[in-house]
Amino acid sequence: MKAAPWLSIIGIGDDGLPGLSPVALSVLEAAEIVFGGQRHLAMLEGEQRKHIEWRIPFADSIEILTQYKGRAVAVLASGDPMWFGAGSTLTRTIPPSEMRIIPAPSAFSLAAARLGWPLDQIDCLTVHGRPMETVLPFIVPGAKLLIYCHDGETPQKLAALLRERGFGDSNMTALSHLGGSREAKCSAPARSWTDASLPSLTTVAIACIAAPGASGLSTMPGLPDDAYQHDGQLTKREVRAATLAALAPLRDQLLWDVGAGCGSIGIEWCRAAKGARACAIEADPSRLDFIRANALALGVLDLDIVEGQAPDILSGRPVPDAIFIGGGLSSEGMVDRCWAVLKPGGRLVANAVTIEGEQRLASAYQSLGGELIRIAISRAGPVGDFTSWRPMMPITQLRVSKS
C-alpha cells in the first residue's frame, strides 16, 4: 500500500487562517510540526506544538525539515507555493509523492483579477532575493508584467529601471496586501512614480510602453554589437546569430562557452530559452569583468563564469547539452576533449578565423562528420564620398551533433 504523504505544504493568503479552506485547515490542525516564516508562525502564537522558522540560507531549513520525515509536518507558504514559493524549492529535494500541496490564490492571480489582465498573456516574475536586472529581458513594447517585490522600495527601483531603458511612459500599479483587509492599490507612469516605500507584501504590475526610439532587446540571438562591453574579442552579430542557430538552445539545457571572450554566446543562449544555463570559460582574467557586466546588463543570472585554461579546466563540470568553442582551438586535444564529455544528442559548434584553426576543424570534420561551412560577411561603409562593402574576417564553422 502506498504510504500517505508526510509533508503538507499549505498556501496561506494575507487574510490568514480564516481564509484557509476546510481541507487546508484540517491538514494544518493534524500536523505535529509546523515550518514557516515569522509572519506565518505568528498566526499560530500560543500553540503548544513545535514551530520551526525558516533559516537563511533556505537550504539549511530543508536539511532540518527532512529529519522529520515520517511525522506529520506542515509548511506554511505565501499564496500558491508553486509560484516562486517554498513548494517549488522543496520539490527539488523531496519527491512529490511524499507531499500534499494545497495552494491558495497567488498574488499573481489576485493582481490579474483586480486589473482584468488575462494571466496567459502576462509574464509573471519575481525580484525577491534576486537582482532587479532579472526583469530586463521582459521589458519590451506591449509586454505586461507582474512582479513579486523584494521589499517596499522595489516599485521605485523598478520605475528607475524603466526610465533608464526608455520605458518611462509605462503604466505601473502597485498592489499591496492582496486578499487581506489592508489591500491597497496605487498607480502612476514610471516617469512620475513617487512612492518611495510601500509594504513589503506588494506585487507590481507594469504595462510596458516604449518611448520613440526605444524598443528593448529581443531574446532572439543576434543582439547589436554595442549591447556588449568588450576588448575586440566579440563574435559579431551576424556570426553570433548563425552560431546560436546551430547550437539550438532548448529549455533547461546547459551550454559550455569555451573561450567566452566577453560572454556573448553564453548570454544569448540563456536569453533564448526558458531555464537555459551556460558556463562561460575564459582564461584571460581581464575579460571576466566584461562577462560579469554584460550578463548583468542583459538580465542573465544563470551564467556560471569560470576562469581557467581549457581543456584542463573542463574536468569535473556538469555535463553539457551543447558546446561552443570560440577560443582555444590551438590547445592540443580541445575538440576531442569537448566531444568526449558532450551528452548523446548534444551539439558541438566551433568557430575559427585563422588557418591553423581551420586545419584543426577540417581534421575534426574528417573524424566526426557534421557540417563544415564558411561564413563571409560584408558591411557597407563610407569610402570618401561614396559607399562600399567592407568585408569582415571570414569564419570557418564546424557543426556536428553527437548521435
For residue 34, what is the domain's CATH number?
A: 3.40.1010.10
The CATH number that applies at residue 144 is 3.30.950.10
Q: What are the phi and psi torsion angles at 200 (to 5°)?
A: -60, -35
Q: Which of 88, 104, 120 is the last residue of a domain?
A: 104
Q: Does one domain contain both 251 and 313?
A: yes
- The H-or-E segment that residue 159 falls in is helix 154-164
Helix, strand, or coil (residue 12): strand
Strands 7-12 and 73-78: parallel
- Rounded to whole angstroms, the Cα distance separating 372 from 365 reads 7
Reading the block at residue 212, the C-alpha cell is: 520613440
Q: What is the mean pLDDT of residues 203-213?
A: 94
Per-residue pLDDT at 3: 65
Judged by average pLDDT, the poorest of 49-58, 119-128, 260-269, 365-374 is: 49-58
Residue 130 lies in a domain: yes
In the 8-state DSSP scheme, what is residue 136? G
Residues 98 and 124 in one domain: no
Clarify whether residues 380 and 320 are in a common domain. Answer: yes
Tell me: pLDDT of 1 over 60. Answer: no
Burial label for 229, CB within 10 Å (0-12, 13-18, 19+), is middle
One domain, residues 138 and 272: no
User: Interior CA angle at 317 toward 314 and 318, to 5°?
Assistant: 135
333: nearest Cα among 318, 315, 317: 315
Residue 191's identity, in one-letter code, is: R
Identify whether residues 392 and 271 lie together within a single domain: yes
- With a CB cutoff of 8 Å and minimum separation 6, the contacts of 175 are 107, 110, 111, 114, 183, 184, 185, 202, 203, 204, 205
Task: Cell 563610407: give the residue.
Answer: 382
Residue with cell 510601500: 198
Mean pLDDT of 28-48: 93
- Sheet order of strands, 7-12 included: 50-53, 33-36, 73-78, 7-12, 99-102
Question: What angle do helix axes 264-272 and 285-297 make, rounded to 10 degrees?
Answer: 30
Do 112 and 96 lie in one domain? The reply is: no
Q: How much is the pLDDT for 312?
A: 87
Domain endpoint, select from 207, 233, 268: 207
In a domain, 1, yes or no: no
Least Cα distance to 284 among 227, 334, 226, 327 occurs for 327
Residue range 301-337, pLDDT digits in tens: 889 999 999 888 998 899 999 999 998 888 888 999 9
pLDDT of residue 188: 96
How far is 156 from 193, CA to CA, in rounded Å?
A: 7
pLDDT tier for residue 273 given thresholds of 50, 70 and 90 = very high
Would the pLDDT of 109 be above 70? yes
pLDDT confidence of residue 2: 61
Residue at 218 is within a domain: no
180, 281: one domain: no
**Quick one: three-class SS letters along 335-394?**
HHHHHHHCCCCCEEEEEECCHHHHHHHHHHHHHHCCEEEEECCEEEEEECCEEEEEECCC
Q: Higher confidence at residue 101 or residue 48?
A: 101
Assess whether 89 and 136 both reside in one domain. Answer: no
75 & 171 share domain: no
State which of 104, 124, 147 marks the end of a domain: 104
User: Is residue 346 domain-resident?
Assistant: yes
User: Rounded distance, CA 86 to CA 36, Å?
Assistant: 9
Per residue in 43-53, is it b (16+ CB within 10 Å) or e — as a string? beeeeeeebbe
Residue 302 and residue 108: Cα distance in Å, rounded?
24
Q: What is the CATH number for 270?
A: 3.40.50.150
Q: For residues 248 and 371, what is the distance between their CA atoms, to the nearest angstrom?
A: 15
Asked if the structure places residue 306 within a domain, the reply is yes
pLDDT of residue 328: 85
Question: 3-state DSSP call for residue 123?
Answer: strand
Q: Does residue 31 share a domain with residue 113? A: no
Q: How far is CA 71 from CA 50, 54, 109, in A?
A: 12, 18, 33
231 falls within a domain: yes
Helix (H, G, I), strand (E, B) or coil at 158: helix
Round to whole Å and give the CA distance between 353 and 50: 65
Average pLDDT, whole number, for the chain?
A: 94
Domain count, the chain: 3
Q: Is 302 contained in some domain?
A: yes
Q: For residue 136, give its domain range.
A: 108-207
- Position 220 in a domain: no
Bridge pairing between strands 202-207 and 254-258: unpaired
Residue length of the chain: 403
Q: What is the pLDDT of residue 216?
A: 83
> Is residue 54 domain-shared with residue 170, that is, in the same domain?
no
Do 235 and 375 sit in the same domain of this protein?
A: yes
